[in-house]
Amino acid sequence: MITNITQLQSAKRTKVERESLHAWHPYYAGYSENFVRSAINYLRLSKYDLVLDPWSGSGITNYICESYIISSIGLDINPIISYFGQAKSGLVLYLLNRNRVKLQEQILTISNNLKQDFSYDISLDNFVSSSLANNLIVIAKAIVLCNFPKTTINNSIIKILENTSIEHPLKAFFLCALFQTARKLSGYKSGSNPTWFKKIEHKQSFSLEEVQNVFIATSEQMYNTLQSSKILSKEYLLHINYTADAKQMSFKDNSFDAIITSPPYLTRIDYAMTTQLEILLLKDSGYLRELRVKTMGAPVIRNSQPSIKKSWGKICNDILNQIENHYSKGSKTYYWKNIVQYFDDAWQILNEIYRVLKKGKSALIVVQSSYYKDIEIPLDCIYIEMENNIGFFETKIPFTEIIKSHMAHVNILSSSYKQNKIYYESCIELIK
């Protein structure tokens, strides 16, 4: 139920965002459920509205919007993360309640009838044995070939996704079960840095039957989690999470009633590498490389370097000048280029946000400040200047708070350039 609360809550993730559905994949980025709820109330959204999250990650905006019976669309450039977002829906729960055992049996039957010697990308050998790789790929192909029941999509979403190909939400669910199976059987262990997917030295072999058993048990665990979540069983799909680059949205102008989102922060997190095992199972190392190149904020220098724009604002241009002329090694040859790429992506996506947002409506964007060595980078102020130059009617910061836990702390050399750095997380409101 939507209340009259108009104060935005903290975006800092709590223990809740690491449990239940959110534990399906160890996704580093994201904000709190309470923030999304408060954003829905702050913007006074109703079931007649349509919400967009162009940096949706594993779909917390969409998950919470659904609990309010609000339709939403989430975009993410990483297909693996999009699958996790799509799997968290009331329609998935509804269809599993009626078809779960039958579908599990169908996947097992198809996988038993497929050949067991698929070729795969050699990079998979870093994480799994050849038998495990083959058997995981066999089940993945069986999921793709499975005959899933027809689905109904909310009308407001159908209208806006006229020519977009959407994958079945049950395909997303069972692939996510397979991804978790891969991590369990590979012996994956998380490290202090969420992008470090370490090579696994002792790779155990598994038969197809053994992999199938873990896969079915995992899908049951996920089903039980869905049952105990805030998601209600529904006969129609209320949110869509799909793979797309937010720099080039396919939506028509003035399509959305609200945008609730958070971009990658300027911390050079290599989000694609957090899913390299899963990407190698479905795609190959070439696709992984391409994804890293396209992902905003990734520590990869592109072949084509963008030009700095005056319209990015004085603060941004001054900081880029300081970084280019910084005394530290690699400032001009690598770091400056990488940060220019980041702001060029931000500029393109903010323009797209302006285009697809309805007039008089708001976008809420959560950002964190960061540092380059000893140079503070106030992302909230930079985004505000960009947004003013794009043409938003009004821009403001409804809340800002000090952040104690920051990815920069992973680098023990960070404090050598400046002691007692203070990081801020802010929510920017843009009104068109």
- Regarding whether 318 and 188 lie in a shared domain, the answer is no
Rounded to whole angstroms, the Cα distance separating 23 from 57 reads 14
Rounded to whole angstroms, the Cα distance separating 361 from 204 reads 54
Strands 370-372 and 375-377: antiparallel
Does residue 13 or residue 75 have the better pLDDT? 75
- Regarding whether 410 and 268 lie in a shared domain, the answer is no
- Taking alpha carbons only, the member of 57, 30, 27, 53 closest to residue 40 is 53
- Regarding whether 364 and 245 lie in a shared domain, the answer is no
Mean per-residue pLDDT for 249-256? 95
Rounded to whole angstroms, the Cα distance separating 60 from 165 reads 22
Mean per-residue pLDDT for 406-427? 68
Strands 50-53 and 71-76: parallel
Please name the amino acid found at residue 186. Answer: S
pLDDT tens per residue across span 372-381? 999 999 999 9
Residue 245 is encoded by which pair of tokens? 């680059």
Classified as helix, coil or strand, 47 is coil
Rounded to whole angstroms, the Cα distance separating 236 from 30 reads 26
pLDDT at position 416 is 57
- Regarding whether 232 and 92 lie in a shared domain, the answer is yes
pLDDT at position 407 is 55
User: Does position 396 have pLDDT exceeding 90, yes or no?
Assistant: yes
- Regarding whether 360 and 338 lie in a shared domain, the answer is yes
Mean per-residue pLDDT for 273-285? 94
pLDDT band at 1 (very low <50, low <70, confident <90, very high): very low
Give the relative orientation of helices 33-42 and 60-67 as an angle to the nearest 10 degrees. 60
Mean per-residue pLDDT for 76-90? 95
- Taking alpha carbons only, the member of 65, 55, 54 closest to residue 88 is 65
User: Does position 2 have pLDDT exceeding 50, yes or no?
Assistant: no
On whether the CB atoms of residues 424 and 378 are closer than 8 A, the answer is yes
Q: Which domain holds residue 196?
A: 1-297
Lowest mean pLDDT among 315-329, 390-404, 408-422: 408-422
- Most confident range (mean pLDDT) of 150-159, 354-363, 411-420 is 354-363
Strands 394-403 and 239-243: unpaired
Average pLDDT for the chain: 91
pLDDT band at 5 (very low <50, low <70, confident <90, very high): very low
Domain boundary among 271, 297, 323: 297
50, exposed or middle or buried, with CB in 10 Å at 0-12, 13-18, 19+?
A: buried
User: Does position 49 have pLDDT exceeding 60, yes or no?
Assistant: yes
User: Does position 200 have pLDDT exceeding 80, yes or no?
Assistant: no
Query: How many Cβ atoms from other residues are within 10 Å of residue 369's Cβ?
Result: 23
Mean per-residue pLDDT for 400-421? 66
Mean per-residue pLDDT for 287-306? 94
Mean per-residue pLDDT for 390-412? 78
Single pTM value for the model: 0.93
Domain boundary among 297, 332, 356: 297
pLDDT tens per residue across span 202-218? 889 999 999 999 999 99
DSSP string for 209-239: HHHHHHHHHHHHHHHHHHHTSSPPP-SSB-E
Q: How crowded is the C-beta side of 24, counted as CA atoms within 13 Å?
A: 33
| Number of domains composing the chain | 2
pLDDT band at 191 (very low <50, low <70, confident <90, very high): low
- Regarding whether 71 and 14 lie in a shared domain, the answer is yes
**Burial track 113-147 (b if 16+ CB lie within 10 A, e otherwise):** eeeeeeebbeebebbbbebbbbbbbbbbbbbeebe
Lowest mean pLDDT among 128-137, 158-167, 229-238: 158-167
- Give CA 242 to chain center in angstroms: 10
pLDDT tens per residue across span 14-44? 888 888 898 898 766 789 999 999 999 999 9
pLDDT at position 26 is 72
Give the start-end residues of each E strand in 244-353.
256-261
Residue with the two structure tokens 């068109």:
432
Alpha carbon distances (Å) from 389 to 22, 210, 249, 310: 37, 58, 20, 10
Residue with the two structure tokens 């604002």:
313
Mean per-residue pLDDT for 228-237? 90
Mean per-residue pLDDT for 349-356? 98
- Regarding whether 386 and 317 lie in a shared domain, the answer is yes
- Regarding whether 177 and 64 lie in a shared domain, the answer is yes
- Regarding whether 237 and 312 lie in a shared domain, the answer is no
Does residue 21 or residue 352 have the better pLDDT? 352
- Regarding whether 202 and 81 lie in a shared domain, the answer is yes
pLDDT band at 147 (very low <50, low <70, confident <90, very high): very high
pLDDT band at 404 (very low <50, low <70, confident <90, very high): confident
Rounded to whole angstroms, the Cα distance separating 382 from 377 reads 8
Domain boundary among 297, 316, 348: 297
Please name the amino acid found at residue 147. Answer: N
pLDDT at position 53 is 98
User: Does position 172 have pLDDT exceeding 90, yes or no?
Assistant: yes
Mean per-residue pLDDT for 321-350? 96
- Regarding whether 73 and 205 lie in a shared domain, the answer is yes
pLDDT band at 118 (very low <50, low <70, confident <90, very high): confident
- Regarding whether 202 and 187 lie in a shared domain, the answer is yes
DSSP string for 152-191: -B-HHHHHHTTT-----HHHHHHHHHHHHHHHHHHT----
Lowest mean pLDDT among 71-85, 144-158, 406-420: 406-420
User: Does position 117 have pLDDT exceeding 80, yes or no?
Assistant: no
Q: What is the largest CA-CA distance in the chain?
A: 64
On whether the CB atoms of residues 421 and 414 are closer than 8 A, the answer is yes
pLDDT at position 201 is 77
